[in-house]
Amino acid sequence: MSNCRCILSDQGFIPEETITRIRESIDIVELISEFVTLKKTGENYKGLCPFHAEQTPSFIVSPKKGIFHCFGCHVGGDVFSFLVKKEGIEFIDAVKLLAKRTGISIPTFQKSSEKEILYEIHDMAVSFYQRSLWSREGKDALEYLQKRGLTDTTLKRFSIGYAPSDWRRLLDFLLIKGFSLEKICRSGLVIQKDANSGQTQRSAPISSQSYDRFRGRVIFPIFNELGRPIGFGGRVLNVSSTTAKYINSPETPLYNKSKVLYGLHLAKERMRTEGVIVVEGYMDVISLSQAGFSNVVASSGTAFTTGQIRLIKRYTSKLWLIFDPDIAGIAATIRGMDLLMEHNMDVRIVSLPDGLDPADYLLRGQMQNLPLQFTDILDQAQGFADWRFKFEIKNDDMRTILGKKKALENLLSFIVRVTNPIERQDLIRRTAEVLGLNETIIINELKTKKAQQGINNRIQGFNQVKQNSKLDSGEYLRRENEGHSKVEKSILYFLLISDDLEEKERVFHQLSADEFSDPICREIFCVLVKLFNQQRELSLSMVMEHMEQKARDSVSSLIFQEKYNGEDIEECLKKLKRYTLSIKLKEIQQLIIEKEKNGEITTDLLRQYNELTGKR
């Protein structure tokens, strides 16, 4: 049978034979060793899992099978799965990265998707803006950046540019390059006027209603984790009351502000070992990076989002937070902290002298030992618990009963979220001291708050249970039968590992997906049947690429568990048939009982039960 199938992504079709070549060309141990320290144990390698915190290694890599699995968090897969999980990228991007690593070219069988076209438009725009910065008309913008202390090397490293003041300069450039107006507008780089507004005639050509979004501004390209441009920020040169100082790209198919951290593509490697410094603005990132602190990213002026925290957690759980000390900056810090605490991040709050932001602080310093001074500031940063305590007691009038009540309420709302018992006890003690209360009162108030949280959680849990109770009773019967599950997994192990194609074909013909009670086992069986009918010889990695993540994790777990090895397949098939029949009988038996309680006729069910009993 010819292997001509393709993998479809939003960026085109890639032949599966190419994906197989790439997979087979990558040493999985060598790849994973770039992120995890592995130690050889027998045929496999073992190390601490990169996907969850653990003290004892439970992460196994099999060079022979080309897969990995963690017995702690149950994540598993092949080289592509590892990169997808570790780098937070799409499967197609993992294929491209490893193709580049192996030198294998990727043929595609489809014209560029919309996303690829938008990437190309952004690439062109980055080059256009950069050329404009170094041209004669970019002179003022370049002088501004140089006065901000940025070197030519830094400007090029961050691909900083300049948008000319003309209304359509970039638009005309992109049209000449062959991009359609529709796609240029979809990129967010061009604004299209409403043809029905009073400003524009209905008969005017559509192109005359469009103009560049960024004009007369310094341009900061925004890149995703892989270093591909997805959006832009623009700072006006001459600030006025009628012009926004900064504007950004709108939401597009490439750019979602809540899931982006500016500078992450340049910071991520150092973040793995040194943690991350989080700031607000583009210039803060650029200035700190130039000063030697390349592990810095910006939230681009927004409060932390769950998406941004997940991005950070792929690389580190340790961060220093530097936000402007104004009301908005403090509010952003507190809002972000609630999310960060939920994700068990180790957070420090950095306060710069005179309330300066990092860019202004570094610009004002301009001295040789400035990096050392900034390192000292990071070392002296307050833990969030300490910072929050001082903030709450400083911002309330502690001389009045009302002020103390407000401070207590705010502190209790915070302390109840603190999971570290030593830190929590210290906060209770300090709260009691500053408010002149007995610690027992604080502890009792915390218990009340926790109880209220518990009630809310139980309400949510009860609603979930009600939802889950809609499952049919037969499903609960299936779940109770561990023997059934073991037999299903033993059969799947055989189908995944065996080289006997004729025997595998016989097993496939004897079974149906309905006989697998476990939904994950059923999914794995369905994928195996489908692939076996298309291509008889299957590799583990190829099978796993056609599965959802949960099924993929189950396969990797199954392969590493020797208890399924050596089971007699014929005996397993007989057991599965017996288990399936037993479950069916129990389901009918339960239906008969329910119908008899309601006074309903059960003749057909009794006949069906007797017929099945005769097959035992």
How far is Cα 605 from Cα 616, in angstroms, rounded to an integer?
A: 17
Question: Which pLDDT does position 278 carry in this prediction?
Answer: 92
How far is Cα 288 from Cα 370, in angstroms, rounded to an integer?
A: 11
The pLDDT of residue 359 is above 90:
no
Task: Please indicate whether residue 604 or residue 81 has the higher confidence score (pLDDT).
Answer: 81
Q: What's phi and psi for 278, nearest 5 deg?
A: -110, 125
Distance of CA 473 to the CA centre of its chain: 36
Task: Please indicate whether residue 37 or residue 301 has the higher confidence score (pLDDT).
Answer: 37
Question: Which pLDDT does position 368 carry in this prediction?
Answer: 55
Question: Which pLDDT does position 298 carry in this prediction?
Answer: 92
Contact 58, 70 (CB under 8 A): yes
Q: What's phi and psi for 40, nearest 5 deg?
A: -70, 130
How far is Cα 421 from Cα 286, in angstroms, rounded to an integer?
A: 38
Helix axes of 501-510 and 482-497: crossing angle, nearest 10 degrees? 140
Return the residue matching tokens 């590992």: 497
The pLDDT of residue 483 is above 80:
no
Classify residue 468 as exposed, middle or buried by CB count within 10 Å of its CB (0-12, 13-18, 19+): exposed
How far is Cα 351 from Cα 323, in angstroms, rounded to an integer?
A: 8
The pLDDT of residue 424 is above 90:
no
Question: Which pLDDT does position 198 carry in this prediction?
Answer: 42
The pLDDT of residue 331 is above 70:
no
Q: How confident is the model at residue 480 (pLDDT cuts 50, 70, 90)?
A: very low
Instruction: Using alpha carbons, select from 355, 197, 222 the residue that is nearest to residue 281.
Output: 222
Least confident interval from 1-10, 250-259, 339-348, 603-612 = 1-10
| DSSP bridge partners of 47 | 59
Classify residue 190 as exposed, middle or buried by CB count within 10 Å of its CB (0-12, 13-18, 19+): buried
Residue 206 carries which DSSP code? G
Strands 6-9 and 12-15: antiparallel
Contact 196, 202 (CB under 8 A): yes
Least confident interval from 212-221, 321-330, 422-431, 552-561 = 321-330
Q: How confident is the model at residue 454 (pLDDT cuts 50, 70, 90)?
A: low
pLDDT tens-digit series, residues 227-285 = 899 999 999 988 776 788 899 999 999 999 888 999 999 999 899 889 999 988 899 99
Task: Please indicate whether residue 399 or residue 275 has the higher confidence score (pLDDT).
Answer: 275
Helix (H, G, I), strand (E, B) or coil at 462: helix
Query: What is the arithmetic mean of pLDDT over 301-321?
Result: 82
Return the residue matching tokens 């009340």: 448
Contact 484, 574 (CB under 8 A): no
Instruction: Using alpha carbons, select from 162, 121, 94 the residue that is nearest to residue 252.
Output: 121
Question: Which pLDDT does position 39 carry in this prediction?
Answer: 93
Return the residue matching tokens 């968090």: 73
**CB under 8 Å to 243, separation ≥6 — which residues?**
236
Q: What's phi and psi for 236, nearest 5 deg?
A: -70, 145
Strands 318-321 and 382-383: unpaired
The pLDDT of residue 310 is above 70:
yes
Strands 318-321 and 276-279: parallel
Question: Which pLDDT does position 344 carry in this prediction?
Answer: 73
Return the residue matching tokens 């990695």: 541
**CB under 8 Å to 449, separation ≥6 — which residues?**
412, 413, 416
Query: What is the arithmetic mean of pLDDT over 472-482?
Result: 46
The pLDDT of residue 474 is above 90:
no
Q: What is the mean pLDDT of the chain?
A: 80
Question: Which pLDDT does position 463 carry in this prediction?
Answer: 42
Strands 59-62 and 229-236: unpaired
How far is Cα 262 from Cα 151, in angstroms, rounded to an integer?
A: 19
Cα first-last separation, the chain: 40
**CB under 8 Å to 550, separation ≥6 — which residues?**
520
Q: What is the DSSP string of 67-129?
A: EEEETTT--EE-HHHHHHHHHT--HHHHHHHHHHHHT-----SSPPPHHHHHHHHHHHHHHHH
Q: What's phi and psi for 222, nearest 5 deg?
A: -110, 125
Contact 183, 118 (CB under 8 A): yes
Return the percentage of the chain with pLDDT > 90, whole number. 26
Contact 191, 96 (CB under 8 A): no
User: Could you tell me the pTM of the whole model?
Assistant: 0.62
Distance of CA 121 to the CA centre of its chain: 25
Query: What is the arithmetic mean of pLDDT over 352-365?
Result: 77
